[in-house]
Amino acid sequence: MVNFVHPPAESLQLHHVLSALADPVRLNIVQVLHATQGGLNCTAATAPFGQVPKSTLSHHFRVLRESGLVQTTKRGVENINTLRWDDLERRFPGLLSQILQLAPR
């Protein structure tokens, strides 16, 4: 079983979050996750990114997880990804909403 690395909310670093969001594919993944309520498995989350190899997408999800933007939980055989919106909002109030509002779609 895979143990996912999720930094505690109080240890999230601004430069890690901004660095993760600087990549257009990762920013787009965050936009897709924000538009969903219950989270998405990797397959559903990656549907808009069919041109990106799965190994590259795995890397992007790992970067998002380790920066504190995404929480990945095991549900049966699926890995469900959700935004850590509340944690990010407590640590950096208004940051993610501003980035998503200003980001190209």
φ and ψ of 82, to 5 deg: -135, 155
- 65-98: pLDDT as tens digits: 999 999 999 888 888 899 999 999 999 999 999 9
Residue 97, CA atoms < 13 Å, CB-side half-sphere: 9
Question: CATH code for 12-102?
Answer: 1.10.10.10
> DSSP readout, 22-67?
TSHHHHHHHHHHHT-SS-EEHHHHHGGGTTS-HHHHHHHHHHHHHH
Q: Is the pLDDT of residue 22 over 70?
A: yes
Domain locations in the chain as residue ranges: 12-102
Evaluate if pTM is beyond 0.75.
Answer: yes
Distance in angstroms (rounded) separating the CA atoms of residues 97 and 53: 28
